[in-house]
Structure 1
Amino acid sequence: MITVGDVIEVMERTYPPSFAQDWDRVGLVVGDRSDPVELIGFAVDPCQAVVDEAIYRGAQMIITHHPLFLRGVSSIATDHAKGVWVHQMIRNQVALFAAHTNADSAATGSAVALAELLGLRDTVPLEPLNEHSDLGLGRVGRLPVTMTVRELALRLKALIPTTPAGILIGGDPQKIVSRVALSPGSGDSFLATAQAAGADVYITADLRHHPATDHLWDGGCPLIGLTHFASEWPVLPRMRAAVESELDVRTYISTIVTDPWEERC
């Protein structure tokens, strides 16, 4: 019998909790380590749609990239959405586990997953871990063939989930790209790092107006702006493969788009 604890052991070997940022909250959120697991769902966000899907499919565990709680809470009453989800999971014996910034920095993490989708070569982290210089947040490497920023954005569009917000380009869309920096999720803190790494383009999500404009006005490389959800979705097949390689369980990857933007007018 495979248990929640068995799944956690595999996930924490693959994505060590020590790799997580100090502010992050990773690991088991809801559930009993001794409960049996036959079906596991993988998703970016722990939210109503993902919980409903797990219950409908009969899953005993959900593994998400984003934690349910990042800040202290004093109540999980059903007065709030997250309290409702917690009660639904407990009633239906669905465990919830999160691998967040530890999965961003790992060897099979979100940055590596996105870099490999693009076929980047000779990649290194944008921000290496102190004790593991080959691991860390973000990635920078070179394309197997050069292309324009627009061509690279269109290639990305074909590789990641489609969201209503789409993909944005800042800077010259015709610039030829060889060296690519990327950081799935919120990455405008790495704008200067990407520039210093000699990137011809920087791919990330959640770019704020002032950091992005200051970067471009100061002669920084072009930007490709993805949605947070779409930029991190490629890590899910990696998580699934890690679990399936060691445990005889059934799995699925949620294709529900959990980006907050529903429509582009």
Structure 2
Amino acid sequence: MAVSTATPPRSLADVISAFEAVYPPAWAMEWDAVGLVCGDPEQRVERVLFAVDPVAAVVDEALEWGADLVVTHHPLMLRGVTSVAANTPKGNVVHRLIRAGAALYTAHTNADTAAPGVSDALARAVGLNGPLRPLDPDTTDPEGRRGIGRIGALDQPMILHDFAAQVAQGLPATAPGIRVSGDLDRLITTVAVSGGAGDSLLGAARAAGVDAFVTSDLRHHPASEFGEDPGPALVDTPHFASEWPWLADGAIHLADALARGDGRNGANVEIRVSTVVTDAWSQTFHHI
């Protein structure tokens, strides 16, 4: 995907300002680390790459394309570090970007809770086409639209087997694929989704009375115990795959925000979505 516009080049500060009008950092969780990681606010930005993870493969892609700014969903510095030496993985990312004159910016839980946000994009990717509402609403939002996760309905009910296949088809292919817990012949009509790790929302999904819950990183014990009582079927997707659909949304919203700021049709910024699969797992093996 590429989005092109046609007015004078923008500074990094301008681009960040436009982006934060859509995904304010104040919406991020207290423990999160969002915002500008490295880069000169006065530098010119003509090419922006959206990616899930700030890892070496994404830096390779960004520098090969000539990106001036990389926007990632996952933070590089989520946990405290005492060094960004170039011989460490995180330090190597920072040094390579700075040497190339490229900036790094993170939108994490502020993009999760936004409306539309990460889970809206996931919901559409797996086939929820009607109105959506938050699974875990943000109580500070008077409109009731923001929050973690989304609940919606399929256009037509389908059995869990077919719904799981639809989920797999709607998300980028990864080595682990998806896992399912529940009767494969169960009829699925209403669905809750949450991009990223969803263990903490199992109770909310049960309370919502949905037929299935699509999320990532479900651990053995919580999922096993959840399955012992009547409740939603579980569809566990790779973490990277559940958050990748948001990248295209983020790119479109940034282009729109820049255009609104100009009062014209755009801002001379080309925006691309990374196609590099950065899921942590590269291969699965099964007993034969």
TM-score band w.r.t. shorter chain: over 0.9
* Contact 1:30–1:97 (CA under 8 A) maintained in structure 2: yes
User: What is the CA deviation profile of residues 124-166 of structure 1, one whole-angstrom value per residue up to 9, with x for unaligned ones?
Assistant: 1011112212111001111111011121111111211000000
Once the two structures are TM-superposed, the CA of residue 214 in structure 1 deviates from its matched residue by: 0.5
- 1:95 aligns to what? 103
User: What is the CA deviation profile of residues 217-252 of structure 1, one whole-angstrom value per residue up to 9, with x for unaligned ones?
Assistant: 122221001000000000000111012222331121
Determine if the alignment matches structure 1 residue 234 to structure 2 residue 254: no
* Contact 2:128–2:152 (CA under 8 A) maintained in structure 1: no
- Choose the corresponding residue for 1:146, options 157, 164, 169: 157
**What SS class does the counterpart of residue 28 from structure 1 fall into?**
strand
- Choose the corresponding residue for 2:140, options 131, 136, 140: 131
Determine if the alignment matches structure 1 residue 86 to structure 2 residue 94: yes
Distance across 2 between alignment mates of 1:7 and 1:158? 33
Alignment of 1:20-169 (within 5 A): 20-117=28-125, 118-132=127-141, 133-169=144-180
**What SS class does the counterpart of residue 132 from structure 2 fall into?**
strand
Q: Select the structure with the greater relative contact order (CA < 8 A; seq sep ≥ 6).
A: 2
Determine if the alignment matches structure 1 residue 13 to structure 2 residue 33: no
TM-score, length-scaled by structure 2: 0.90
Give the length in aligned residue pairs: 265
* Contact 2:209–2:231 (CA under 8 A) maintained in structure 1: no
* Contact 1:10–1:242 (CA under 8 A) maintained in structure 2: no
Once the two structures are TM-superposed, the CA of residue 27 in structure 1 deviates from its matched residue by: 0.5
Distance across 2 between alignment mates of 1:210 and 1:119? 28
Distance across 2 between alignment mates of 1:116 and 1:79? 41
**What SS class does the counterpart of residue 164 from structure 1 fall into?**
coil
One-letter amino acid matched to 1:80? T
* Contact 2:150–2:193 (CA under 8 A) maintained in structure 1: yes
**What SS class does the counterpart of residue 127 from structure 1 fall into?**
strand
Once the two structures are TM-superposed, the CA of residue 4 in structure 1 deviates from its matched residue by: 0.9
Once the two structures are TM-superposed, the CA of residue 108 in structure 1 deviates from its matched residue by: 2.2
Once the two structures are TM-superposed, the CA of residue 10 in structure 1 deviates from its matched residue by: 1.5
- 1:190 aligns to what? 201
User: What is the CA deviation profile of residues 42-82 of structure 1, one whole-angstrom value per residue up to 9, with x for unaligned ones?
Assistant: 10000000011111111111001101011121111123111
Distance across 2 between alignment mates of 1:120 and 1:183? 16
**What SS class does the counterpart of residue 248 from structure 1 fall into?**
coil
- 2:273 aligns to what? 253
Distance across 2 between alignment mates of 1:5 and 1:173? 50
Distance across 2 between alignment mates of 1:103 and 1:31? 21
Determine if the alignment matches structure 1 residue 205 to structure 2 residue 238: no
Distance across 1 between alignment mates of 2:75 and 2:231? 33
RMSD: 1.0
Once the two structures are TM-superposed, the CA of residue 122 in structure 1 deviates from its matched residue by: 2.9
Identical amino acids, percent of aligned pairs: 44
Once the two structures are TM-superposed, the CA of residue 88 in structure 1 deviates from its matched residue by: 0.5
Determine if the alignment matches structure 1 residue 170 to structure 2 residue 159: no
**What SS class does the counterpart of residue 76 from structure 2 fall into?**
coil
Distance across 2 between alignment mates of 1:116 and 1:220? 23
TM-score, length-scaled by structure 1: 0.97
Distance across 2 between alignment mates of 1:46 and 1:116? 25
**What SS class does the counterpart of residue 139 from structure 1 fall into?**
strand
Determine if the alignment matches structure 1 residue 264 to structure 2 residue 284: yes
**What SS class does the counterpart of residue 122 from structure 1 fall into?**
coil
Distance across 2 between alignment mates of 1:41 and 1:123? 28
